[in-house]
Structure 1
Amino acid sequence: MDLDLRLLRYFVTVAEELHFGRAAARLYISQPALSKQIRKLEDQLGGRLLERDSRHVTLTARGHRVLPDARDMIALATRISEQTTESGAVRIAHIFELQTSRIVADAFAAAYPDVQLIERSLDSLRQLDALLDKRLDVAVLRVTAPMAARYPTGWRFHRLRLEPMYLVGRPGDPPKATASLFERPVEVFADSPASGLYNAHGDYLTAFERHTGMSMRWLGNPGTFGHCLAAVHRATDAAYVLEFESYAARYGDVGIPMHHPAELQPYYPWCIAWRDEPLSPAVTNFLRIAEHTARQHNWHLPPHHSALPWVPPDDPTDSTQAALSTSSPR
């Protein structure tokens, strides 16, 4: 029997969460697709691994027996992968086309052109899973309070960047420095809590909704900038899109205005994370270059402007509040 390691990873994730929605969000697939893959694994193994109804998920006796072996097989595959990976390589991941990790990767490649970068695309939670599972060497991600509480050991992180969020208008809107969060509907390209694909970005936006009392339009996550831009061009009503600076500047490049929020300036806290273990020289140098790049671009201290700065109040990032206190309104 040829077992698919991907199916085993799906099973282990569901066994850890005992909830298909949360497991699907961790795996960044839809809940129906996850259920289908679990049934496929059960068919291959000839028996049920999970009992599920509308409210509960539990392991069957067979599931309890399979779980430790599944974990061992995944760990073995990871060790084999590490042995076949170039010893000097650094494995990282990007979140769509957001630029923080790419800027660091470019700086590292310029400083160490002989070290291979192996790059993937993973959201924050999947990056953390891959880091702890030794499928990544470094993660550039948003760390949430639940992530830090769930995995209290085995890794380390610190803040790399506070990325400002902008309000992006519609084609033909007049340029202006600021716009009110409340003068138009505010849209977000993100998966809602009910989508089954809710992630660290969604968690950030939910916190912002609660703080401001807004009710934003959740448009789903089309991923690449090109898809987001096309959606803005298709829109027929007046609204703003709350966007990362990484994307907002690209809207500006094609003539769509970007504005600082007038009432409150949200910042998205990016972290760099690594395993809490002896590091290879290549990974050590990557972390050093990342910190140098953050200082070079002044990523640690937000630029001064009139709106009060905001990050989620439960953000676990080191020194975030200290940094924000230096950027109070003039």
Structure 2
Amino acid sequence: MPDLPGRRPLDPRLLRAFLAVAEELHFTRAAARLYVAQQALSRDVRRLERELGAELFVRTTRLVTLTADGERLVPYARRVLDAQDELLAAFGQARPLLVDLNSPGLATGRRVLYRARELAPEHEIMARFESGLTGAAAELLAGRLDASFGRYAGLDPALRAMLDHQFVRYEPMAVVLPEGHPLAPLPQVPLAALEGETVYAGAGNPRTPEWTDLAHRLFDGRGIAVAPPAPLAVGVEEFERLMAKTGHPVLAVVGFPPLPRTVVRPLVDPVPLSPVSLVWRRGLVHPAFDALRRAAAEVAAREGWFLRPETGWIPAIDESAANRSIPFTIDLHDS
């Protein structure tokens, strides 16, 4: 409903001043009850009378009594102030901070989440699993999710324009191989050893195009093909079945959780790095959000997540995005 011409919204403070005087019928006692000076209380009552265009009290040197308009205002003032108190109580206990960890078992987001819970034990910080930053971005912008982890530079520019990020980690990449694959016995897999291979990197998954794009950039000019789109495997059993059926290695990170009849081998020469950021929608306000950002900065500093191997590889677009991220400065001696 639009405001009436010439009418300004009433300040609830004025109604609280009025109600205190109406209940005490004494300006000095009412001022003491509200912990304000009597002059300030009288000024608020006079202002309310001007804004309503009605005299609310009859004042004499000995008595304060309500006028007919004052009597009429009492129930309205109580309803307005009760509603305000109810609203403040509802938001006094913040809703949970919802943090997407992409997939169960991945270490980066999980370790940050655990530390954030230690820093803000009075707040509920809950994990979600959206399996891809592009998929999570839609939830972030809709307000159904507060933060996520992933490759910020791989998002569509239109999405990046509505999101902010804090760089967290250069995460070394790996390859998941069936146990019987010729490269499985190696402790590390040189990138050149994948020449001629077709590697699955989520092609066709609408929730993870940022990961497929990273694979294309890594494999370009190295004779490694990105596997064509395949049905999305949901659950360990389906993932294992499709791996056995296709025989394709799977591009992953070194912290990828082990699966039955597979091995995870770090990639080297060079060491490809997956850039991980904490990502959130611009303007996010939540009392636990600073704890999450601080946790990301603390864990990254202590674990050396910002350090790049001498032979590390990362696309220029990701390096530029990392340099433009919003840092969270900490003093580890105080944490």
TM-score (norm. length: structure 1): 0.58
- Letter aligned with residue 100 of structure 2: A
Question: CA offset at residue 91 of structure 1?
Answer: 1.4
Which protein has the larger Cα radius of gyration, Structure 1 or Structure 2? 2
Deviations along 1:271-321, whole A, 9 cap, x unmatched? 1123443733311111111111111222111345xxx3222332252239x
Matched with 1:246 is 255
Matched, 1:222 2:197: no
Residues 144 and 118 of structure 1, relative CA distance in 2, 3 Å threshold: same
Aligned counterparts of 2:237 and 2:308: Cα–Cα separation in 1: 27
How big is the alpha-carbon RMSD for the aligned residues of Structure 1 and Structure 2? 3.3
Q: Corresponding residue for 2:194?
A: 182
How far apart, in 2, do the equivalents of 1:226 and 1:162 lie?
A: 30
Q: Which runs of 5+ in 2 are unaligned?
A: 1-86, 325-335
Note if 1:273 corresponds to 2:279: yes
Counterpart for residue 168 of structure 1: 176
- Name the aligned partner's letter for residue 199 of structure 1: P
CA shift, 1:113, in A, is: 3.0
Letter in 2 for 1:214: I
Matched-pair identity in %: 18
Count of aligned residue pairs for this structure pair: 228
Report the counterpart of residue 312 of structure 1 in structure 2: 315
SS at match of 2:203: coil
Distance 1:189 1:278 in 2: 31
Would you say the 8 A contact 1:96–1:224 is kept in 2? no
8 Å contact from structure 2 (residues 178, 262) kept in 1: yes
SS in 2 for 1:115: coil
For residue 108 of structure 1, give the secondary structure of its aligned residue in structure 2: helix
Paired residue for 1:36? none
Q: Secondary structure at the match of 2:98?
A: strand
Matched residues in 1 for 2:206 and 2:285: separation?
A: 35
Q: Give the aligned partner of residue 119 of structure 1.
A: 127
1:277 aligns to what SS in structure 2? Answer: coil
Between the aligned partners of 1:277 and 1:183, the Cα distance in structure 2 is 45
Pair 135,312 (structure 1): closer, same or farther in 2 beyond 3 Å: same
Indicate conservation of the 8 Å contact 1:161/1:294, yes or no. yes
Query: C-alpha separation between the residues in 1 aligned to 2:99 and 2:229?
Result: 28
1:206 to 187, 202, 216: 216
Q: C-alpha separation between the residues in 2 aligned to 1:150 and 1:215?
A: 28
1:159–1:196 distance in 2 versus 1, CA, 3 Å: closer
1:261 aligns with 2:267: yes
- Structural mapping, 1:1-330, within 5 Å: 86-87=93-94, 89-97=96-104, 98-122=106-130, 123-144=132-153, 147=156, 149-151=157-159, 153-172=161-180, 173-179=184-190, 180-182=192-194, 185-192=197-204, 199-218=209-228, 220=230, 221-225=232-236, 227-232=238-243, 234-235=244-245, 240-247=249-256, 250-251=258-259, 256-277=262-283, 279-303=285-309, 308-315=311-318, 316-319=320-323
Q: How far 1:176 sits from its partner (Å)?
A: 2.9
What SS class does the counterpart of residue 281 from structure 1 fall into?
coil
For 1:279 and 1:250, locate their aligned partners in 2 and report how far apart those are by CA, in whole Å: 37
Q: Quick check: 2:135–2:208 contact (8 Å CA) kept in 1?
A: no
Distance 1:203 1:95 in 2: 17
Secondary structure in 2 matching 1:269: strand
Q: CA deviation at 1:242?
A: 2.2
Matched-pair contact (CA < 8 Å) for 2:202–2:229: yes
Deviations 1:160-212 (A, max 9, x none): 111111133331542433344435524215133xx666622122222223353
> What secondary structure does 1:302 align onto?
coil
Distance 1:138 1:191 in 2: 24
AA aligned opposite 2:194: F
Aligned residues of 2:178 and 2:261 also touching (Cα < 8 A): no
CA distance 1:231–1:303, change in 2 (3 Å): farther
Query: Does the residue aligned with 1:271 lie in a helix, a strand or coil?
Result: strand
Letter in 2 for 1:129: A
Q: Which residue is 1:76 aligned to?
A: none
